[in-house]
């Protein structure tokens, strides 16, 4: 929901970044306010996923210029785990498998780390169980998933739902969903989208990175941005996504 | 991120201090006179001297084994001190008489004997440079007929038992290092659980090598009679020296009908520095004989130290329905080399064995699993399950698996599973993105990887093992 009086959660200015010496982001500007849903669209290689990884602090990417602030904090002065604790969440395009580490143990450690950061009490396993059983309903997952190793042997849809479960537990200020719709069948897409929608509040915000309009039927964006060659070249409302679906990207790129 | 992993795996060794106690050493080198001198210093009976000499003569005819996947300069066996014992030698009646310097050493190691005695209820037989310093809880154990003492003491007080079982599982000429040990072993532990007795507490021993350039050759012999059971814990640390030290121990276990022996090791000998200088050469022969029906021997080991580990705790399943188990975590870092595994020899009917091996390699180390599962012609209905998992940390280490399966009975069932995984940058980034720092991430992954083994360790050892892996790889294991 657009409310120009609400506070700015993410402020990115003229962001430039490279990977392995190749410049990918060439000056990205983006402002996200509390309560908003943004979609970043674009063709393969336009820099969408790079943008999300740079914000989250992936070690392969080097920031070459510009600034990014999360709720007023300079992101680039923080290590990746500090950014996460400050309230930045990235739902991965390809969630990794972690054999031997149970979902439940991971969730509890992540949650308690955050509780410490906020100066709140850690939850013991029994208390945490109550919390996680409540949250798991958000993504309609079977509780048996909690005892399994993180993502090991999960289907594509289960992995993505697991990402949203982590988001539900950690309640980030800003969640970036990196191609969360890829590899999802229509039922899984609906579940994931319902999960995300149920987590939206006037105090947090979501940035979706996606190729396709499909996801946006379920999670309706306030703003749609088109990224091309490392820059945001066009911004519009949700109808822009429909236009892209109908006409492709070329006309936007030509105009840029 | 890679450098973060490197920082984690480069924790210095914390047990590298030398205790300044006067030691009395036999001159360097090995010949029959040295063996006679050792035997004489220990006031041994003639039959034991003969055992040593025949082992020595056999050893002279043997070649140092070269089949293991380890590389090291040739050992000069004449450049080793074969016997060193701390002075003074007067008999100690209680812990209070133990050299305070020695006690401080153990405190630094985190083995406060007093506390351990009282709080953990563990009887500790402490071996310090080959001589048993003190044996606690002996009297209490004696009430139920259990003998737990130093090997030298057993030789004098229970010669008939020692004579009956010494070399009965690992013959003196079994292999190069076992023969060397048989010739020059200085002390060790002896444990005898009589018929029908369940040992009321875990028995524990701490080994430590102190004198620079000295070899440590202990001998452990554990016998569980019919229906007896015992859990035995062995912990090892050594101070750091620039020269390599040789450790060639022999452990023999004998389980009679319906007996159960559980043998757990946490090994943290000095592994050498990050360039591979110094460190212990750990060439150990450990073997258990399931002699009686329904007997069971279970080996659990956590190997984190030594420059080179060459060790294959094995089970000979002679009794019908007997069971052998091997649970192992071997961690190598820097330039450490480990070639370790087990042998399960199925001879009796319906014998079963289970092997769970977890190898973790970091730095430039090399970690090999080598195993033999052998099913003899008469071992009808024998079953084995083996699982060998390797984990690689970073891109410069190596993991190998050398399983050998030899089945001579068509009714046998043998299964072998293996996997290799890697702690990669993507996993580390995933943890970081969930707010978890790299130390905790590594410890969580390692702990998860090892849990199938850790569940088989006695409680206090599980805690220690967890700490050790933490020390070796990062800060903690939760």
Domain edges within chain A: 8-255
Q: Which residues of A touch B430 (CB under 8 A)?
A: 92, 95-96, 98
Residue B127 has pLDDT above 70, yes or no: no
Whether B410 and B379 have beta carbons less than 8 Å apart is answered as no
Q: What is the mean pLDDT of residues B334-338?
A: 85
* Of the listed ranges B25-29, B262-266, B395-399, the one predicted with least confidence: B25-29
The per-residue pLDDT for A1 is 72
Using the Cβ of A106 and the Cβ atoms of chain B, whether some distance falls under 8 Å is answered with yes
ipTM above 0.90, yes or no: yes
Full DSSP string of chain A: ---TTSPEEEEEEEEEEEETTEEEEEEEEEEEETT-EEEEE--TTSSHHHHHHHHHT-TTEEEEEEEEEETTEEGGGS-HHHHHHTTEEEE-SSPPPEEEEEHHHHHHHHHHHHHHHTT-PPPPHHHHHHHHHHHGGGGT--GGGGGSEETTT--HHHHHHHHHHHHHHH--SEEEEESTTTT--HHHHHHHHHHHHHH--TT-EEEEEES-SGGGGTS--SEEEEEETTEEEEEE-HHHHHHHHHH-SHHHHHH-
Q: Which residues of B touch A122 (CB under 8 A)?
A: none
Mutate to test the interface with A, among B434, B441, B443 (most CBs of A within 10 A): B434
The per-residue pLDDT for B96 is 58
The per-residue pLDDT for B15 is 60
* Of the listed ranges B96-100, B389-393, B411-415, B469-473, the one predicted with least confidence: B96-100
Q: Which residues of B touch A170 (CB under 8 A)?
A: 434-435
The per-residue pLDDT for B125 is 54
Chain A: residue nearest B445 by CA?
A101
CB pairs under 8 A between A and B: 73
Chain A: residue nearest B427 by CA?
A96
The per-residue pLDDT for B86 is 54
Residue spans of chain A under pLDDT 70: none
Higher pLDDT, B8 or A147: A147
Q: What is the mean pLDDT of chain B?
A: 81
Statement: the pTM of the whole predicted model exceeds 0.80: no
* Of the listed ranges B281-295, B308-322, B323-337, B342-356, the one predicted with least confidence: B323-337
The per-residue pLDDT for B378 is 95
- Fold type of domain A8-255: Rossmann fold (3.40.50)
CA-to-CA dists, residue B135 to B95, B98, B151, B247, B472, angstroms: 9, 11, 11, 22, 30
What is the C-alpha radius of gyration for chain A, rounded to an integer number of angstroms?
18
The per-residue pLDDT for B42 is 87
Q: What is the mean pLDDT of residues B459-471?
A: 71
Whether B138 and B148 have beta carbons less than 8 Å apart is answered as yes
Q: Which residues of A touch B438 (CB under 8 A)?
A: 81
The per-residue pLDDT for B94 is 53
| B427, B433, B438 ranked by CB distance to A98: nearest | B427
CB-CB under 8 Å, A101 with B433: no
The per-residue pLDDT for B225 is 97
Q: Provide the residue count of chain A.
A: 256
Using the Cβ of B128 and the Cβ atoms of chain A, whether some distance falls under 8 Å is answered with no
Q: What is the mean pLDDT of residues B451-478?
A: 67
The per-residue pLDDT for B11 is 56
Residue B118 has pLDDT above 80, yes or no: no
The per-residue pLDDT for B6 is 53
Residues A23-35 as b or e (16 or more Cβ within 10 Å = b): bbbbebebebbbb
Higher pLDDT, B93 or B367: B367
Using the Cβ of B387 and the Cβ atoms of chain A, whether some distance falls under 8 Å is answered with no
| A58, A110, A117 ranked by CB distance to B434: nearest | A110
Residue B92 has pLDDT above 90, yes or no: no
What are the tens digits of pLDDT across the range B26-54?
778 889 998 998 898 889 999 999 999 99
Using the Cβ of A37 and the Cβ atoms of chain B, whether some distance falls under 8 Å is answered with no
Predicted confidence band at B134 (pLDDT cuts at 50, 70, 90)?
Answer: very low
Using the Cβ of A145 and the Cβ atoms of chain B, whether some distance falls under 8 Å is answered with no
The per-residue pLDDT for B389 is 93
Predicted confidence band at B267 (pLDDT cuts at 50, 70, 90)?
Answer: confident
Chain A: residue nearest B431 by CA?
A81
CA distance B427 to chain A (A): 6
What are the tens digits of pLDDT across the range B340-381?
999 999 999 999 999 999 998 888 888 999 999 999 999 999
CA distance B421 to chain A (A): 9
What are the tens digits of pLDDT across the range B140-195?
788 899 998 888 889 999 999 999 999 999 998 899 999 999 999 988 889 999 99
Chain A: residue nearest B443 by CA?
A101
């Amino acid at each position: 929901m657009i409310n120009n009086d609400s506070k700015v959660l993410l402020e990115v200015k003229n962001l430039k970044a490279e990977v392995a010496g190749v410049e990918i982001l060439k000056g990205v500007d983006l402002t996200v306010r509390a309560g908003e849903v943004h979609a970043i669209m674009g063709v393969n290689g336009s820099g969408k996923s790079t943008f999300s990884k740079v914000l989250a602090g992936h070690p392969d990417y080097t920031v070459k210029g510009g600034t990014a602030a999360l709720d007023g904090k300079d992101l680039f002065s923080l290590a990746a785990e500090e950014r996460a604790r400050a309230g930045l969440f990235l739902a991965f395009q390809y969630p990794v498998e972690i054999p031997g580490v149970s979902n439940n143990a991971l969730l509890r450690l992540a949650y308690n780390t955050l509780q410490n950061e906020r100066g709140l009490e850690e939850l013991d396993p029994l208390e945490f169980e109550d919390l996680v059983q409540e949250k798991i309903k958000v993504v309609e997952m079977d509780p048996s998933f909690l005892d399994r190793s993180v993502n090991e042997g999960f289907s594509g849809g289960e992995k993505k739902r697991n990402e949203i479960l982590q988001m539900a537990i950690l309640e980030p200020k800003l969640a970036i969903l990196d191609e969360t719709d890829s590899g999802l069948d229509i039922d899984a897409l609906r579940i994931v989208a319902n999960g995300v929608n149920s987590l939206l509040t006037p105090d947090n915000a979501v940035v979706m990175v996606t190729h396709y309009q499909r996801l946006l039927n379920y999670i309706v964006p306030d703003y749609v941005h088109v990224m091309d060659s490392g820059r945001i070249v066009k911004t519009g409302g949700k109808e822009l996504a429909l236009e892209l679906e109908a006409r492709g990207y070329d006309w936007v790129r030509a105009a840029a | 991120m890679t450098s973060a992993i490197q920082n984690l795996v480069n924790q210095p060794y914390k047990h590298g201090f030398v205790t300044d106690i006067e030691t009395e050493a036999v001159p360097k080198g090995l010949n029959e006179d040295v063996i006679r001198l050792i035997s004489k210093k220990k006031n041994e009976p003639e039959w034991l001297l003969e055992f040593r000499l025949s082992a020595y003569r056999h050893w002279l005819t043997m070649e140092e084994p070269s089949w293991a996947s380890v590389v090291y300069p040739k050992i000069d066996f004449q450049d080793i001190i074969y016997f060193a014992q701390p002075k003074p030698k007067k008999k100690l009646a209680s812990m209070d008489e133990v050299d305070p310097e020695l006690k401080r050493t153990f405190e630094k190691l985190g083995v406060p004997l007093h506390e351990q005695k009282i709080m953990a209820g563990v009887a500790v037989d402490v071996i310090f440079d080959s001589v048993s310093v003190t044996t606690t809880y002996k009297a209490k154990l004696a009430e139920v007929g259990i003998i737990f003492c130093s090997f030298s003491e057993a030789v004098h007080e229970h010669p008939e038992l020692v004579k009956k079982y010494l070399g009965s599982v690992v013959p003196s000429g079994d292999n190069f290092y076992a023969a060397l040990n048989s010739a020059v072993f200085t002390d060790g532990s002896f444990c005898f659980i009589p018929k029908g007795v369940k040992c009321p507490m875990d028995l524990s021993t701490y080994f430590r090598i102190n004198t620079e350039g000295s070899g440590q050759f202990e001998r452990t012999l554990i016998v569980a009679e019919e229906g007896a059971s015992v859990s035995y814990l062995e912990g090892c640390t050594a101070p750091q020296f620039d020269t390599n030290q040789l450790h060639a121990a022999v452990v023999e276990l004998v389980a009679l009908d319906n007996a159960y022996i559980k043998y757990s090791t946490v090994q943290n000998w000095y592994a050498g520095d990050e360039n591979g200088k110094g460190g212990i050469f750990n060439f150990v022969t450990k073997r258990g004989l399931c002699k009686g029906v329904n007997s069971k021997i279970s080996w659990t080991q956590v190997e984190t130290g030594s420059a080179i580990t060459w060790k294959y705790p094995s089970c000979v399943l002679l009794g019908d329905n007997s069971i052998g188990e091997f649970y192992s975590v071997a961690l190598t870092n820097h330039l450490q080399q480990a070639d370790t595994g087990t042998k399960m020899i199925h001879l009796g009917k319906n014998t079963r064995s289970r092997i769970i091996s977890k190898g973790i390699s970091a730095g430039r180390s090399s970690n090999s699993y080598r195993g033999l599962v052998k099913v003899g012609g008469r071992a009808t209905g024998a079953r084995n399950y083996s699982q060998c998992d390797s984990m690689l940390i970073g891109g410069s280490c190596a993991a190998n698996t050398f399983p050998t399966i030899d089945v001579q009975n068509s009714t046998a069932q043998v299964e072998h599973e293996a996997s290799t995984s890697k702690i990669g940058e993507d996993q580390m980034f995933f943890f970081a993105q969930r707010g978890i720092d790299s130390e905790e991430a590594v410890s969580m992954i390692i702990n998860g990887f090892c849990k199938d083994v850790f569940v088989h360790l006695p409680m206090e050892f599980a805690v220690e093992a967890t700490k050790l892996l933490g020390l070796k790889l990062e800060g903690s294991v939760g």
